[in-house]
Structure 1
Amino acid sequence: MTRLPALMLTVALSSVAVDGQVPPPPIVGTSHEVIPHARTMPFANLAAGQVLVTWTPQNVRCGGVPIAFSQAPAPMPALSWSGAANILKSVDYSFTVDAAGRPLDVGRGSKEYLPAGTDLAPALVAAKFAPGNPRQGCSLTFVPAASAVLEASVTALMTYIMFPEQRPTPAMFAQIRPVGSTCFDPPPEIRNRAFPAFDSIPKQPGQAGWSMIGFDIDARGKPVHLKHEAGNGNAVLDKASLAAVADSKFAPGARTGCQYPYWIAAATLPPPPIPEEAPFRPANATCPLKADWATKPPLNYPRNFGRRWIEGWAIIGYDVASWGETGNVRVLASQPSAEFGEQALQMLSSAKWAASATGYVGCVDRVAFRMPRPGAKPNTPDAAENVPLPF
């Protein structure tokens, strides 16, 4: 078979801040008693107001046989409202596992509206199984739990505040403060804020790292009584964050119950190789190999995968009417999740070709979703203005 020239639409994510160079600002709030563990109430009993939703993977099976993750999915907590939380229910996902232990072909069983669940598929894609044993017919269930903000776990609240989808509330800031803290109202004057050597800290593909350091300040303005309060398991970042706080300096005056977080973005998690479009092109295709766009497809990266630095691709088939409108748009293949295909389908559906005498059938386009590449030249598909923050 003659190989057709590759027609590729490349979607590169652009954003505004350089990874690790400018961590989130100090979390500032008022002193409040910390409730150390969440008391998750039945959804119907939640009082009106904002709630924090967390998800737990359960019933993980391949071919009907239970299977254990070597690195379980860790969906980010989501902020919602009690009314939406009352309709939350468990969500089923299907997937396969490749020889490297990566979940692929990730898809959700139901297409119903899913409140507070935008990170479920990305979290599953970023998970791992033991390598060397590819599997088919896999599934799991994500089970939700909703807690009033004032009763949510401190670690879950910290996780949300580090990577928020909506602006964190004052109640959330207050909830994570150590009891009796004197460090936030007002905060101490910073004389020197030290930072870890971010470039030397290993990144985890598909998972941003964070570390919250607690400390006091002595009368000279030196941080003392340092401790690691919470994080998501990057031991190198934890150690470097402790050292950075120790090297910081504040205005003289004793303070207690201080906190400061550091984070690093995820490493890029690439997809499996994207196939050529030739095997997907039907025998009766009349579509030219080079698209004549009158209105180009909007190149929109799936935000929930971009915040985890997860790449993907889709193969889209469609026809073109004589007046240029695309129709019969369908997903022929996508990886590592069906959501990349859904995003590409929306993009191609809104595009338009130049008018022609008869229109075309059997058009096939590949859509590659790529994160920015280090050292890429500006204004190329592999470059972005800056490396994006993980939120």
Structure 2
Amino acid sequence: MSAAARSVVPFDHVEQLRSARDILRVEANALESLASRLDTSFCAAVDLIDSVTGSVIVTGIGKAGLVGQKIAASLSSLGIRAHVLHPAEAVHGDLGCVHEDDVVIALSHSGETDELNRLLPLLDRMGVPVVAVTASAGSTLGAAAQVTIEIGKQVEVDDHNLAPTTSTTVMIALGDALAVTLSRRRGFTPQRFALFHPGGSLGRRLSRIKDVMRTGEELRISSQNTAVRDVLAESARPGRRTGAVMLVDDEGLLTGLFTDSDLARLLERREETRLDEPISSVMTHRPITVTSDRMLEVAVEILSARKLSELPVVDSEGRPVGLIDVTDVLGLVPEAEHASSPTHPTTPVTPTTDGRYE
């Protein structure tokens, strides 16, 4: 069978692709429409949420309730205390998780959800303000809320305009807008983000260099005045081995670096006699360094951009306190290259005049 014959797309697949693209365009247009008509009610919601000292309680029923779980998770991810409250369970005891210093975000496309509207007088009695996300401010939910963000009557993309699709997409996007706007207003930092995301490669990349660097017995440190042969013999370490020796002067300040690659080059050039010379004659002088309080993504960026295998970590005076080996962060290097793109700005890694990244 020819390549052309194998590439023929069955007609039913063509129709499926056309339908899927139309669905995506409908939902994209709904988001564009909401973005165009979003008004100061959004700002009022941000002000209200930011003013409370308690938590953000997100509630909704059915698919809106699932959207609420995502919004609460996004808020929590960005350092804003948030919880989910199921409207039906609320009237059977779960309302006890709501306090007067909280704010409620209530989600309902129609604004007429019985389980949700049953909560409204209870929340009012408790003095808890409500931010409504609904199609119309004239609905029962919209009229009862302190702030109402109207998303407009959405046309669902299923054939019968019944299954929550476009409406839930709009709610999710609006929740993202609220969460990110609030986090910016509160000055949320990458350091705080790392605190809430300790797991996985993302959390690792946002950790501090001091939490990852090799230290103590794992380091190979020698005097720059010692012969190369003696340095290699004296700096041998058990267990996890680094591929570089950090060289220091008489005051303990880092002056150079000698790597396994440097040794290999000496042997390849048949310069074995230099093994008995002071290592300062063959070491890399004034190597690039970084301080331990920087975020790990800075070290990864340096290793990637400079194509280095080892990065010495020094204190404020220039004494070696650790080492980042590329094998320790190997899985993060592609992420660092991605993060340095214009759409993913990272912390600047401009060195000082002495090559140190502080």
Structure with greater proportional strand content: 1
TM-score by length of 2: 0.23
Structure of greater Rg: 2
Structure with greater proportional helix content: 2
Q: Which has the higher contact order (CA 8 A, sep 6+)?
A: 1
TM-score by length of 1: 0.22
